[in-house]
Chain A
Amino acid sequence: MYRYIFRRTYQLIIVFFLFLVTSYLLFDAIPGNAFQNLLLNPDLPPDAYEQVLALYGLDKPLSERVFSYVVNFFKGDFGYSYKYYPKTPIELIAERLPRTLMLFAMVNIISFYTGFLIGKILAWRRGSKSETWITITSVFSYTVFYPWFALMMLWYFGYKMDWLPIGKFLYPEKWYDSPYDSDVIFVLMIKFTVIVSIIQVLIYVFTKNIESLSLKRNVRFIGFLLNIVGSYFFWNTGDALLKKTYAGDIAYHMILPVLTVTVVAFAGTALLTRTTMMEVLKDDYILTARAKGLSQRRIRDRHAARNALLPVVTSFIFTIVTIIDGSVLTETIFSWPGMGQLILDSVLNEDIPVAMATFSFIGVFALIAHFVADISYAYLDPRIRIQSQG
């Protein structure tokens, strides 16, 4: 297993190096540069433009620039943003990334669960009327033109019904006299979500070995309730009580984007689950499970769904890879100040250091996700586990 991981890491580094060089060359191929508008200003002396270029090292030949970029990159030096000068790309990403990750982590978890749940129920009720209708709906939301759909959602929930805010991260007027920075609140929300999820996973893991099924169910349910009660106390005591209204405001702004992307994203999972599950239901061990007298639910969840999970998880991990580039569209429509907007912004302004940093970030993210996909695949399928040990 270690050898396998080592080999994969080594491959990853080479692929990443190629990725880096190619991206740099592509950005360089964009005509013009970030400082060209200096030439349009008649008040500036004509050599100012050249001086600025020389300052940023843009007068050097391409090969030299690529070389020094890659060397600096591996030293951890990403340069400075051209547009927000004293800020480095890392600072900009650090500010934007949590917003994107929070939004899309939420979307992905919700859409994976609902998609998988709906998919397996669809396969199980094959041929019924409800199955037909839900399948048609899923196909619709899977194939719908996403920007149009997002705008329709905004129009309906934000304007027509006026239930939810139209875009943005928060209501600025609520934050004028706020003692907190929005990022502080947001980081707190992220920490809270992560801890609650970890507790939930731990409850699940620790109850795994309870033999009696009804006892297991009850213990898990009580654990879930305790988690909810704990969260309630957390937000209603001490420091968090003061931050509650602000956190609430951000959460309120998250609802519509989360809902919209979920509706679009769940359908893929649901349809894929439905197909793989229908295949699995034909397998002999399903018959064994029935012959053993197991309950329908247990056959469905434990035997059929567990085996249908494999391809679904792989495809799911590949969607995670597209979170950040996919966020460009969503964040633009919902004016959500995250990574997606940063990417778009930096490319339009030819802010090369920032664009390069965000792109490399996407690259690293994608490579790691594929790596995780391989490993989780091995975990889910014992038949692969053996081979990857070599």
Chain B
Amino acid sequence: MSSILEVTNLSMHYETISGNVDAVKDVTFNVKQGESFGLVGESGCGKTSVAMTLLQLQPENGKISQGSIKFDSNEMIGLSENELRKIRWKGMSIVFQGAMNAWNPVVKVGEQIREAMREHSPNNSKSENTKKIRELFEMVGLDESVIERFPHELSGGMKQRAMIALALSCDPKLIIADEPTTALDVVIQDQILKEIRKVQEVFGLSLIYISHDIAVIAEMTDNMAVMYAGSIVELGKTEEIFKDPKHAYTRMLLESTPSIIGEKKKLRSLDGEPPTLINNDNKCLFSYRCPNPTNECKNRELDMELIKISSSHYVDKCCIDCE
């Protein structure tokens, strides 16, 4: 199957007064047509930064320093703002982490969706657009009266559903869902996840699903990447990683969530604080939290690099056998 998105050696840093924050470091991964790809890691490890960099919507101080993003076989780095505008939403759309505030408070929900459609297919009539919004709303479980409502009249769950409808409105090839269920209660979370799954299958979409919750990733994705301090430390088939996690950090993540597959174990909280990302070299940043560091690790001698274990499983070489 062909790749819809190929990210190679992508790096992005934020320029701040206290130095550069390396939020995305040398990240490489592929998303195939129709597949669901997961990105997991603790808070602050750079998941949102990756998502924003893919759309090149990172804040002004976020600078891409190297790498390539090929979307649908076309290089996206170096495109002008106007060329990017055509890809945004029509090619790649995103459900934001903070969907609560992602709606303009003074414009009706329907109009905000219609606006995107108007931009990408200017020849549609208003009634065609509205009809499509109705269909989308039905699919995500929203009443059509929501079209005429203002965002503040909706509950958090409804806003999130409407956001998914918005993300689908221009028939994108790839949707990025950045923790779409944080701030929702468990029941709604579950419904939304099902909604996303259903939509993805119905439309044959590719999906990048971002979460700090590795259990959700197990449920939602075919392939996944574990992110730590801006780098991908383990990458591969979701099933394989769950069955045989190689990186000590992945194992920590797994032990900190109630198990969905396999026997019941005692839960452990994540030990240690996440590292600061300011002005780092390319050495492993996990060594001080590693349960079993070698001398090389402690002296921070090893460069980070993904090593192939099997055709569908890669892991960072520092941790290849820190049992």
| A and B interact | yes
* Size of interface on B: residues with Cβ below 8 Å to A: 37
Q: A291-B89, A293-B120 are in contact. Are A283 and B101 (CB under 8 A)?
A: yes
For residue B154, CB closer than 8 A to chain A, the reply is no
How distant is B115 from chain A, measured CB to nearest CB, in Å?
7
Q: A283-B101, A290-B57, A293-B85 are in contact. Are A211 and B125 (CB under 8 A)?
A: yes
How distant is A320 from chain B, measured CB to nearest CB, in Å?
22
B81 contacts across to A, CB distance below 8 A: 296
A380 to B81, CA, bound (A): 31
Interface residues of B in 107-136 (CB under 8 A from A): 107, 114-116, 118-120, 122-126, 129
* B104:A287 contact, CB within 8 angstroms: no
For residue A76, CB closer than 8 A to chain B, the reply is no
Interface residues of A in 168-223 (CB under 8 A from B): 209, 211-214
Which residue of chain B has the shortest Cβ distance to A290 in the bound complex?
B57
A291 contacts across to B, CB distance below 8 A: 55, 57, 88-89, 93-94, 96
* B105:A382 contact, CB within 8 angstroms: yes
B106 contacts across to A, CB distance below 8 A: 306-307, 380-382
For residue B242, CB closer than 8 A to chain A, the reply is no
A306 contacts across to B, CB distance below 8 A: 104, 106-107
Q: A284-B102, A291-B88, A293-B88 are in contact. Are A211 and B57 (CB under 8 A)?
A: no
* B129:A211 contact, CB within 8 angstroms: yes
* Size of interface on A: residues with Cβ below 8 Å to B: 28
For residue B98, CB closer than 8 A to chain A, the reply is yes
B84 contacts across to A, CB distance below 8 A: 293
* A292:B89 contact, CB within 8 angstroms: yes
A284 to B93, CA, bound (A): 15
When each residue 131-166 of chain B gets 1 if its CB lies under 8 Å from chain A and 0 otherwise, what string results?
A: 000000000000000000010110000000000001
For residue B32, CB closer than 8 A to chain A, the reply is no
For residue A288, CB closer than 8 A to chain B, the reply is yes
For residue A250, CB closer than 8 A to chain B, the reply is no
Residue from the list A211, A212, A213, A289 in contact with B104, Cβ < 8 A? A289
Residue from the list A285, A290, A296, A302 in contact with B103, Cβ < 8 A? A285
* A284:B96 contact, CB within 8 angstroms: yes
* A294:B115 contact, CB within 8 angstroms: yes
A289 to B122, CA, bound (A): 17
A213 contacts across to B, CB distance below 8 A: 118, 122
Q: A303-B104, A306-B106, A382-B106 are in contact. Are A287 and B86 (CB under 8 A)?
A: no
Q: A285-B104, A380-B106 are in contact. Are A292 and B88 (CB under 8 A)?
A: yes
* B124:A287 contact, CB within 8 angstroms: no
* B101:A285 contact, CB within 8 angstroms: yes
A291 to B178, CA, bound (A): 13
B105 contacts across to A, CB distance below 8 A: 285, 307, 381-383
B98 contacts across to A, CB distance below 8 A: 284
Chain A positions near chain B (C-beta within 8 angstroms):
209, 211-214, 283-285, 287-296, 298, 302-303, 306-307, 380-383, 386
Chain B positions near chain A (C-beta within 8 angstroms):
55, 57, 81, 84-90, 93-94, 96, 98, 101-107, 114-116, 118-120, 122-126, 129, 150, 152-153, 166
Known: A284-B102, A306-B107, A383-B150. 18 other contacts (CB 8 A): A209-B126, A211-B114, A211-B118, A212-B122, A212-B123, A213-B122, A285-B101, A285-B102, A287-B57, A287-B102, A289-B104, A292-B119, A293-B120, A306-B104, A381-B105, A381-B106, A382-B150, A386-B153
